[in-house]
Structure 1
């Protein structure tokens, strides 16, 4: 089968979208709840559609054309099922009937040979999908926000953002004989949906951050595609295809990188895990648990008896002001008293420590630990403060009882 430039661009974009879907499926597949199962169903329908569409283009076999049309007809129903789960309420019966009957109709229409069915079948499919997604968008916009949590509303809004691309880009995917475009853009909308889905695992990322990042990626891809088109004199069609190929490849790379980061965060042996699983019945045992933690190097618990070389009053005053001290507190420009700086510097040097935690104030006990600079980060520093606070609370509870 011969490949023209349009088919090559369509295939590359669809392959990128398919790989993006497989990445998201691997991430969502580990969750066992009703909403995740509904989402997985929709993702798998999309993956089957893309895979069979690529095989249809490359082999020309009627079987793959049949599965492609049947899967495309199933998309509004899959999206509606997901929307019901997100909104935690049933959609109107008329909309359910529309989505289900449409899926059945296109399952039957997919049996008609292409020579007899086109372009009216593609036009009907486009109208059906467009109408279904508009109705779903209406459900999302008119939802009862007060009945959903902040996280649920955030998830629904992320899905709504993807509709902003899916609806206009959908038109370019079917080409019902009324127009011609250099490349199908549905794959870009799917990749954006995948990126938004991966981003749901990062609560710190807001909608503005996501839109801003996508704008930067899109503008960079436009610049790269136009530059390539200018260098090779590809014309406007080739330049548009270059932009879309670069954008799809960039989005796929970002999706993969974000999925790896998300998986690493789940596996990360953080200090918060020590707080959740450590022995909370005794402050000494809780602190000794740090000695085997991967982020610190042999944490030393130093009671007052082991601190005979130090001025305990000055050391107690230093740690009472800031229960967690680091090497940054002994730098010349650090805003600390000179006697405190001298005591801390000697403590860090003697025990080859990078951080010191206040364990108990009366009697004084400290924890000295070594955390390599490359392993340290603002998040880890905050976790260290939380561990110290937990140790103090355990010690205070022991003193009361």
Structure 2
């Protein structure tokens, strides 16, 4: 047997006990007191085995009643731990009055443990004070040997049980806090992902619609026959935006009726994206270099979103005589996507030498260039963005293949 086998067995037994407890808590609540009662009765019977006499029945009735008073309240130990512990005083008092000693310390220990595990801190402090008072009132008048025996056999174990229960309770609270923190982080990450998707979808399509509307207004004066073409393009961009938005928001729906879903856009969809941007009047070139690799849907989405965000920024911030170029190159080790656009030469010479940009207020919220960079890093890639020395802007995405 390997060293790991006993640990695996212990873990499985622990898991079985937890599963049984969660599925049938009432059965477990009853099973433990019943087991304690059975052990106590058998111990008493076997202890009296050589001393049978005619009045054994009446003599046995008193300890049996005291055991029942000890174990029956344990059925409610989880719901009313303080009351169950207080109920243990009844058979203890009865034992002192009658002089009938029974072995029921385990029932008291279980009641103490549940108080430490489930009761408020104030209850724990109260029982600590009661135990201290018990030490002072009970041990004080006794001779030293008897006092030491009482402390060692009763008081110290009680304090240890209270401490042990409190430690387990603290550990459970810590684990619960960890799970809640992990859940909050997962929710925040999903919220950030949805916000990024909505930013990419809405931002791009609104930029396209705005450019088409401006072009349509100009065409209405100079070339009326192109107005209808611009309106159709606006309608197409709007419908696509709504379709993608429904797909993203589907994860937030609580109803069971499935929404009409479409596949996530990827590398093959870059060409249709470029065509849609060209319809706004922006001159966009698209060039492929090398054989494009097979990519996972997630990595293909990164390429699509980076190209989409870059062209959206050109539509938002570019000059009227602007143009853009998208180059996708691949080899055996990496895929590189470069998006450039024309523009004025930076007046500040330091801007020509700075390949990356500082995060703006928008970027700090997880959008824009920072959002693109985060997408790339999630797949082991890099993203650089900044002004070109010859004028304009460049974005370069590199992903491993």
TM-score interval w.r.t. the shorter chain? under 0.3
Structure with greater Cα Rg: 2
> Which structure's relative contact order is higher, taking Cα pairs within 8 Å and 6+ residues apart?
1
